[in-house]
């Protein structure tokens, strides 16, 4: 049997190509058989039946019956052919309809794509931030649009987490039809698959998206240094704007260094030439997004007043962990300026025109330490983002800034070169929940953050008991959970320790 | 500080579209840097992981002291990876190679160098451009010559049970060219002697011999990682 285009079976034998119905074929076979039987039996009948008339009548009846049968068969064949044709036609119509639907879907899809590209939402990912753009939202006077978004890292390194890391949800608001949010996430070195999911039901506009992206990150060390100043006794917030201070008054400076890259940085060589009593800072590595503050001060002198103004600038040098980008050039802060004025007149010698409570040199309504137009405000503690990146808050955690747990796993520090006696291997306790120390694969100590001493978790090992050669200290670190939804990060850090022979030996030199 | 910044075009195919920034870290005279290895690493002929291997970092010297490597330059690749060029203390002399920055520990600095002159048979230690120590030496016989070239101090030892080495000895990164079968592979040392009458002269198997008082003084002055020029 073969199949025609519509999938129906087609007979190759009886009935020919036009007769496809089985009943028609059966009728034709029956008619031919009957004629054959009559033709065979006719001579026998002649021999037994004497009457020629009777024979003729019989033959006539048989012939009519065969004719009827043939007609019926032909009729059936015609109907079968008609049916087959209509079936074929229907199949072809179905096919055409299907193609039309497909074409319509395709055109709709491409139109949607074009619309999204032009009007829709988008996500851009780089190694320090995820930028989410919302478009086509309603503009309602005085009523901002709100969206809730979730960011997930689907493939964190196994050493950090075996499950995707889902950051706490962020609520973002913006006015007008378009908004761009920047979420700062310092991705450590590696390749990451990022999933950004957002949902909104705002000002009558409802929707959501789930956008996937990926990013490959190399070490990108970066930092900023900013300097602000305030006058002793002033209620004003520290500012980078010029101030007016009296001779004898102390100017307090605060220098803030922020690690804005994706690798830990160690800050050294802090200098501030025109600043005394420098305090603060740390020689410990500073993790991405963390800040380090230095404080210093200067008492304004008559010489400063003679010079007209007192300005200064701070600078610091940053270096990366080994293999994570190399040393960075020193960077200077912004310059801050104070204009010294004559010292305050003694009390009781109020000059005409000065109101009680106002100090000399101040304009009415302006307090000391403020620049013209500056109003007294309580210090801002929130991380300030660039204009246009208006994050209003998060359900949990800091606004617009997400810590990536792997970046906070500390390194294992220990001796370099020969060890022959006791040595200490340690990690910074900041953010660590537990650490298990192993020496050459054998567990030697388990500690929790409660065991931290001076900010370090450490193990002391007596190298004198080790054989001469290379040994490995391994720290299996479990970090504290960054949020209830995120799983705790795990990491392993290893240290190679060289147990040397005594330095009092017979050398193997050629002599 | 004698540091030089230059751009190095990497071999074709070694790094996608890149120029590496090379920073010279040692000038081998007034400022040199060295480091202990802190991780296992293959030493490469150029600062790319695909380049030819020239060996691997060792942690111990032949005298079971901590091996250290003289650092010549660093290369920062366009990818951000940093590699360090080192002198490799093994036979044949003069091998240089590159390792990832993370394989080496803190970079230590050393000022000055030791000059061993086989013509004048004197060793002179320079620091801050001045000779701060000078003494006569004994060098290799014509059949077992002391190798010429740039080397460095690998280890500082106090000798035990063998007056032939005197009270103190300095292990170097140099190997005697002819005595490859010597125990330890034929490391050239700078040490004292029990035959001071042969100094100055050419009595040794390749080592640099000094009178015991001189090696004692030099041992106190010199630091590990100090470059040695043997001319």
| CB contact B13 to A (< 8 Å) | no
Q: What is the DSSP letter of A464?
A: G
In sequence order, the β-bridge partners of residue A472 are A496
Backbone angles phi, psi at A444, to 5 degrees: -115, -25
pLDDT reading at A86 higher than 70: yes
Cβ-based contacts of B159 with chain A (< 8 Å): 504-507
Residues 94-153 of B with CB under 8 A from A: 100-106, 144
> Which residues on A lie below 8 Å from B158 (Cβ)?
503-505
Query: What's the mean pLDDT in B22-46?
Result: 90
Lowest mean pLDDT, pick from A45-49, A139-143, B24-28: A45-49
Q: What is the mean pLDDT of residues B16-22?
A: 63
Which residues of chain B make contact with A319, given a CB cutoff of 8 A?
none
Residue A384 has pLDDT above 50, yes or no: no
Rounded Cα gap, residues B22 and B24, in angstroms: 6
B162 close to B137: Cβ distance less than 8 angstroms: no
Helix (H) or strand (E) holding A31: helix A22-48
User: What ipTM did this prediction achieve?
Assistant: 0.86
Highest mean pLDDT among A224-228, A274-278, A293-297, A325-329: A224-228
Q: Any residues with CB less than 8 A from the CB of B154 and at least 6 apart, and which?
A: B61, B65, B67, B68, B89, B170, B171, B172, B173, B224
In this structure, of A319-333, A399-413, B77-91, B137-151, the range with the lowest mean pLDDT score is A399-413
Highest mean pLDDT among A226-230, A319-323, B113-117: B113-117
Name which of B35, B38, B178 to mutate to probe chain A: the one with the most chain A Cβ atoms within 10 A of its Cβ: B38
Percentage above 70 pLDDT, chain A: 73
Write a three-state SS string for A366-431: CCCCCCCCCCCCCCCCCCCCCCCCCEEEECCCCCCECCCHHHHCCCCECCCCEECCEEEEEEECCC
What local confidence, expressed as pLDDT, does residue A190 receive? 75
Q: Of all residues in chain A, what percent carry a pLDDT higher than 90?
A: 10
* Average pLDDT estimate for B158-175: 89
Asked if the model's pLDDT at residue B41 lies above 80, the reply is yes
How high is the pLDDT of residue B11?
44
d(CA B9, CA B221): 40
Residues of A in contact with B202 (CB under 8 A): none
- Whole-angstrom Cα distance, residue A461 to residue A245? 57
Model pLDDT for residues A214-245, shown as the tens digit of each residue: 888 777 788 889 888 888 777 677 788 888 88
Distance (Å, rounded) from C-alpha A499 to C-alpha B61? 12
Joined tokens for residue A385: 């983002």
**Among A377-386, A449-458, B202-211, which is the least confidently predicted range?**
A377-386
Q: For A415-439, give one letter per residue: b (16+ CB within 10 A) or e.
A: bbbbbbeebebbbbbbbbbbbbbbb
Query: Residue B3 has what pLDDT?
Result: 41
Domains of chain B as residue ranges with CATH: 5-109 (2.30.30), 112-230 (2.40.440.10)
Q: Identify the CA nearest to B61 among candidates B89, B91, B40, B35.
A: B89
Confidence bin at B201 (pLDDT 50/70/90): very high
Q: How confident is the model at residue A326 (pLDDT cuts 50, 70, 90)?
A: low
Judged against a pLDDT cut of 80, whether residue B138 lies above it is answered with: yes
Cα distance between residue A315 and residue A330, in whole Å: 7
Least confident of A34-43, A58-67, A381-390, A495-504: A381-390
Query: Does the pLDDT at position A485 exceed 80?
Result: no
Give me the residues paired with residue A292 across strands. Answer: A257
Q: Which residues of A touch B (CB under 8 A)?
A: 218-220, 322-326, 416-418, 468-470, 494-496, 498, 500-501, 503-511
pLDDT for position A482: 54
CB distance A6 to A87 below 8 Å: yes
Contacts of A494 in chain B (CB under 8 A): 39
Beta bridge partners of A253: A229, A296
* Predicted local confidence at residue A428, as pLDDT: 84
Q: What is the pLDDT of residue B86?
A: 95
A430-448 residue pLDDT tens: 778 899 999 998 999 999 9
What average pLDDT does the structure give for chain B?
Answer: 87
A510 closest CB neighbour out of B159, B161, B182: B182
Q: Cβ contacts (< 8 Å) between B101 and chain A: which residues?
A: 322-323, 326
Residues pairing with A426 in the sheet? A413, A458
Cβ of A500 within 8 Å of Cβ of B171? The answer is no
Looking at residue A508, its pLDDT comes to 84
The pLDDT of residue B37 is 94
In this complex, which of A470, A500, A508 lies closest to B183 when CB atoms are compared?
A508
Instruction: Give A365's pLDDT tier (boundaries 50, 70, 90).
Output: very low
Q: Are strands A223-231 and B95-100 parallel, antiparallel or unpaired?
A: unpaired
Q: How many CB pairs under 8 A join A and B?
A: 125
Residue with tokens 């292990």: B171
> Is the Cβ pair B37, A322 closer than 8 Å?
no
From chain A, pick out residues whose CB is under 8 angstroms from the CB of B100. Answer: 323
DSSP state for residue A433 in the 8-state scheme:
E
State the pLDDT confidence band at A468, using cuts at 50, 70 and 90.
very high
Which position has the higher pLDDT, A256 or B1? A256
Q: Lowest-pLDDT range, A106-110, A232-236, A290-294?
A: A232-236
Minimum-distance CB partner of A511 among B79, B82, B205: B205
Pairing of strands A418-419, A490-499: parallel
Q: Do B189 and A509 touch (CB under 8 A)?
A: yes
> What was the pLDDT predicted at A467?
93
CA of A510 to nearest chain B CA: how many angstroms apart?
Answer: 5
Q: Identify the three-state secondary structure at position A361.
A: coil
Highest mean pLDDT range out of A115-119, A309-313, B122-126, B174-178?
A: B122-126
- Give me the sign of the Cα torsion angle B191, B196, B200, B205: negative
Q: Which two tokens stand for residue B144?
A: 């077992």
Which of A244, A275, A413 is CA-nearest to residue A344?
A244
- The better pLDDT of the pair A256, A390 is held by A256
Contacts of B157 in chain A (CB under 8 A): 503-505, 507
In sequence order, the 6+-apart residues with CB closer than 8 A to the CB of A285 are A264, A265, A266, A321, A410, A411, A428
Residue B81 has pLDDT above 90, yes or no: no
Does the distance separating the beta carbons of B76 and A508 come in below 8 Å?
Answer: no
């Amino acid at each position: 049997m073969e199949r025609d285009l519509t999938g129906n079976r087609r007979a190759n034998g009886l009935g020919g190509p036009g007769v496809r119905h089985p009943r028609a074929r059966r009728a034709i076979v029956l008619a031919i058989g009957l004629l054959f039987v009559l033709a065979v039996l006719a001579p026998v009948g002649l021999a037994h039946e004497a009457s020629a008339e009777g024979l003729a009548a019989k033959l006539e009846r048989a012939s009519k019956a065969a004719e009827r049968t043939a007609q019926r068969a032909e009729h059936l064949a015609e109907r079968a052919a008609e049916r087959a044709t209509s079936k074929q036609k229907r199949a072809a119509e179905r096919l055409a309809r299907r193609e039309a639907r497909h074409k319509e879907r395709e055109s709709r899809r491409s139109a949607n794509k074009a619309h999204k590209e032009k009007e829709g939402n988008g996500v851009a990912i780089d190694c320090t931030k995820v930028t989410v753009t919302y478009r086509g939202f309603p503009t309602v006077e005085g009523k901002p649009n709100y969206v809730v978004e979730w960011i997930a890292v689907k493939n964190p390194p196994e050493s950090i987490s075996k499950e995707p890391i889902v950051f706490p949800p962020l609520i973002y608001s913006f006015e007008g039809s378009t908004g761009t949010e920047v979420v700062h996430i310092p991705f450590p070195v590696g390749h990451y698959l990022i999933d950004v999911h957002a949902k909104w039901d705002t000002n009558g506009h409802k929707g959501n998206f789930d956008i996937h992206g990926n990013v490959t990150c190399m070490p990108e060390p970066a930092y900023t240094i900013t300097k602000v100043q305030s006058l002793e006794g002033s209620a004003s917030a520290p500012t980078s704007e010029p101030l007016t201070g009296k001779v004898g008054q102390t100017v307090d400076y605060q220098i803030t260094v922020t690690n804005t890259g994706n690798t830990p940085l160690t800050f050294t060589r802090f200098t501030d030439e025109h600043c005394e009593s420098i305090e603060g800072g740390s020689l410990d590595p500073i993790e991405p997004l963390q800040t380090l503050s230095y404080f210093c001060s200067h008492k304004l002198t008559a010489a400063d007043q003679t010079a007209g103004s007192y300005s200064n600038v701070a600078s610091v040098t940053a270096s990366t962990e080994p293999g994570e980008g190399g040393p960075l050039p020193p960077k200077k802060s912004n310059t801050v300026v104070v204009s010294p004025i004559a010292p305050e007149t003694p009390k009781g010698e109020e000059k005409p025109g000065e109101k009680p409570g106002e100090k000399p040199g101040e304009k009415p309504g302006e307090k000391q330490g403020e620049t013209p137009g500056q109003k007294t405000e309580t210090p801002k503690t929130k991380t300030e983002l660039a204009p246009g990146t208006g994050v209003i808050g998060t359900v949990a955690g800091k606004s617009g800034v997400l810590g990536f747990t792997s970046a906070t796993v500390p390194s294992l520090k220990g001796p370099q070169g020969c060890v022959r006696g006791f040595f200490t291997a340690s990690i910074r306790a900041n953010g660590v929940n537990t650490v298990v120390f192993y020496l050459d694969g054998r567990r030697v100590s388990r500690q929790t953050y409660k065991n931290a001493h001076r900010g370090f978790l450490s193990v002391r090992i007596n190298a004198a008991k080790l054989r001469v050669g290379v040994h490995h200290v391994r720290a299996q670190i479990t970090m504290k959970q960054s949020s209830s939804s995120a799983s705790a990060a795990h990491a392993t850090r290893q240290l190679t320790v060289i147990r040397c022979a005594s330095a009092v030996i017979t050398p193997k030199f050629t002599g | 500080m004698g540091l030089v910044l230059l751009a190095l075009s990497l071999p074709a195919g070694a790094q996608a579209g890149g120029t590496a920034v090379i920073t010279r870290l040692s000038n081998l005279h007034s400022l040199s840097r060295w480091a202990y290895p802190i991780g296992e690493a293959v030493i490469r002929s150029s600062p790319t992981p695909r380049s030819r291997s020239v060996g691997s970092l060792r942690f111990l010297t032949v005298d079971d002291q901590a091996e250290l490597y003289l650092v010549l330059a660093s290369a920062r690749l366009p990818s951000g990876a940093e590699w360090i060029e080192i002198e490799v203390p093994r036979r044949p002399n003069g091998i240089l190679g590159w390792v990832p920055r993370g394989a080496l520990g803190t970079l230590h600095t050393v000022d000055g160098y030791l000059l061993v002159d086989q013509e004048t048979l004197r060793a002179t230690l320079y620091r801050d451009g001045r000779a701060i120590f000078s003494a006569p030496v004994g060098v290799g016989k014509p059949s077992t010559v002391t190798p010429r070239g740039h080397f460095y101090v690998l280890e500082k030892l106090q000798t035990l049970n063998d007056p032939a080495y005197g009270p103190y000895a300095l292990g170097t990164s140099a190997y005697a060219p002819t005595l490859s079968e010597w125990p330890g592979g034929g490391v050239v040392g700078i040490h004292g002697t029990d035959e001071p009458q042969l100094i100055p002269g050419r009595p040794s198997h390749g080592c640099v011999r000094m009178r015991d008082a001189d090696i004692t003084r030099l041992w106190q002055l010199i630091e590990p990682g100090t470059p040695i020029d043997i001319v």
